[in-house]
Structure 1
Amino acid sequence: MTNNQLLGIHHVTAMTDDAERNYKFFTEVLGMRLVKKTVNQDDIYTYHTFFADDEGSPGTDMTFFDFPNNPKGAAGTNSISRAAFRVPNDEALAYYEQRFNEYGVKHEGIQSLFGKKVLPFEEADGQSYQLVSDENNKGVAPGKPWKNGPVPTDKAIYGLGPIEITVSYFEDFKKILEQIYGMKEIASEDNVALLEVGEGGNGGQVILRKDTETPAARQGYGEVHHVSFRLPDHEAIEQWLEKYQSAGIGNSGLVDRFYFEALYARIGHILIEVSTDGPGFMGDEPYETLGESLALPPFLEKQREYIESEIRPFNTKR
């Protein structure tokens, strides 16, 4: 494996209309840990929250922009249509199905997809997710379940699962995933392909769906903003910048997010980020109190008093 090959999924970022409700859903119902409560670095008046495993490991975090005044998004084609979370086995899926029933979470029951068990469900704002069972899974290693969470550690979510992308230009998009991003198709069904990258398995897969009938999705809360794939380090992301430039793919240039380095490119309608595994989320807060206070990267720290006066506070102390 060369240094610049993608290692798997890094994170998925979606939009919410209510950071506090979203926080309660992810921590109290799903049992994921809030590892960082910060602000959107491109819009300091809004929150950016990160839910992950016990230590905020790369490949485990689902993040949210809080855009309370944005309109509701609309699901449709030409979008990142569903994020997924890994659980250890089929027994854990059954546990969550019962948990969803107890908490009144809308779900579609346990199903099979490409030979694995999945449990599709929705958040209150209509955001689509699914749990995927790691039973018999091989490939990208999972993270560590939240030790002090409400879900038993042998059942708990411990990583991101296959990201689902739906497009009308299926063949063209698949070709880019294969030729630029180094993915390989490993299975297909009617108008659906399963591709994987890196060590593969649930932590390194994309479910690509073809849909030429549904109207295009509309961005807004309840929809995914972008997906990011993992790179090992700065050298690798610099090589990706060169790759984009050589291929004539428009991009953001390297962006230092403090917790990781990022590089963005829009492929058709889909915003794809590549991000470094480090430095990570453990450097600026103690493990014991991750996510309990408003964390700001050094370049925003001088604006802390102003930011805290403008942003609506909500309590994340456990």
Structure 2
Amino acid sequence: MEKIAGHHHISMITKNAKENNNFYQHVLGLRRVKVSVNQDDPSMYHLFYGDLTGSPGTGLTFFEMPFVGHTHRGTNAITRIGLLVPSIESLMYWKERFALFGVEHGEVTTYAGRDALHFEDKEGLRMVLLHHNGEPVPDHWREWDDASVEQQHRILGMGPVEITVRSLGRLSSTLENIFRYTLISRTDKQAIYQSIQGQSFGEIVIVEQEGPDEKPGRGSIHHLAIRVKNSKELRLWEQRIKDSGLKIVKATDRYYFESVYFREENGILFELATDGPGFTADSSVKELGQKLDLPPFLESRRTEIEAKLGPIE
């Protein structure tokens, strides 16, 4: 029986690529592993951050939209990103670091059963650092040695992702019946699922909330991508989605991975993405994120595309 192997990446909206780059590289200590463009609209940057190679499960990605407005928070949206850190001492380290850099943050508390530190970037993107409690992390995650954060406190990768919806039951049904996620806990208004039981790097926290839909803007989350092994497995999951009655939004080859997009019944956009080929398809590990990389089908438009993009650093 095939299983979803965890999160692949998560994609957000930023108004300013330069400020975004400064925060995620120099404050959070993630590696910028790819500078590219939105393949559906190459007038905008698409920035990727993660571990040494942007391994599946570590990827935070951002579309730059310079004219985007504020996010108006609401329901039927992906509302929080969990990032795993090694220890409770790491949470104290990050609390001090956030104070030093003027990052909005709370006190050390708990979230989804783990010690936690909530914070936001300057655009209001809600995140939470979580002590991973010694749980296993994927073998393929690799540290970036040049990170600006002390080695023993560096962010490991993605943990629980929070999704707020009007109908908990509908999203639960999608996770259980199509993707075979395991229910870990449930109350009237919240449920926690894991793609692989006991492993937080594939965890989804569902919060049920009435009210208007979120109006996306800077600092909002566009979609969550979940991991599949390869093209063959992707086709199997695509057929399961179709058989369930849900509509495929798009199936495409992103060059660095293959993707299938669909919306569940609350309107949440999911992507299924293959593990490979990965970001080293057109770059050495050493050179990752140092220049604008374009997929082959956009390479002939490089001069036109570069003319529309501003400097990041």
Which bracket does the TM-score occupy, shorter chain normalised? over 0.9
Relative to 1, partners in 2 of residues 1:20 and 1:241: Cα closer, same or farther, differing over 3 Å? same
Matched, 1:39 2:41: no
TM norm structure 2: 0.96
Contact 1:48–1:66 (8 Å) recurs in 2? yes
After superposition, the CA RMSD in angstroms is 1.5
**SS state at 2:275 partner:** strand
**SS state at 2:54 partner:** coil
Task: Provide, for residues 117-170 of structure 1, a one-character-per-residue CA deviation record: whole Å limited to 9, x for no partner.
Answer: 111100111111111111232465572222101002221012111110011111
Q: For residue 259 of structure 1, what is the aligned residue in structure 2?
A: 256
Distance 2:32 2:253 in 1: 21
Structure 1 counterpart of 2:283, one-letter code:
E
Distance 1:199 1:250 in 2: 28
Q: For residue 181 of structure 1, what is the aligned residue in structure 2?
A: 179
Structure 1 counterpart of 2:205, one-letter code:
I
Q: For residue 7 of structure 2, what is the aligned residue in structure 1?
A: 9
Gaps (5+ residues) in structure 1?
A: none
How far is 1:41 from its partner?
0.3
Q: For residue 116 of structure 1, what is the aligned residue in structure 2?
A: 114
Alignment of 1:82-161 (within 5 A): 82-138=80-136, 140-141=138-139, 143-161=141-159
Distance 1:61 1:130 in 2: 15
Distance 1:74 1:140 in 2: 35
Distance 2:203 2:137 in 1: 10
Gaps (5+ residues) in structure 2?
A: none
In structure 2, which of residues 239, 246, 256 is the aligned counterpart of residue 249 of structure 1?
A: 246
How far is 1:255 from its partner?
0.6
How far is 1:218 from its partner?
0.6
Alignment of 1:236-315 (within 5 A): 236-267=233-264, 268-315=266-313
How far is 1:190 from its partner?
5.6
Alignment of 1:59-74 (within 5 A): 59-74=57-72
Mean alpha-carbon deviation: is it higher for 183-192 or for 282-291? 183-192
Distance 1:95 1:141 in 2: 25
**SS state at 2:80 partner:** strand
**SS state at 2:55 partner:** coil
Q: For residue 24 of structure 1, what is the aligned residue in structure 2?
A: 22
**SS state at 1:302 partner:** helix
TM norm structure 1: 0.94
Q: For residue 161 of structure 2, what is the aligned residue in structure 1?
A: 163
Distance 2:142 2:181 in 1: 26
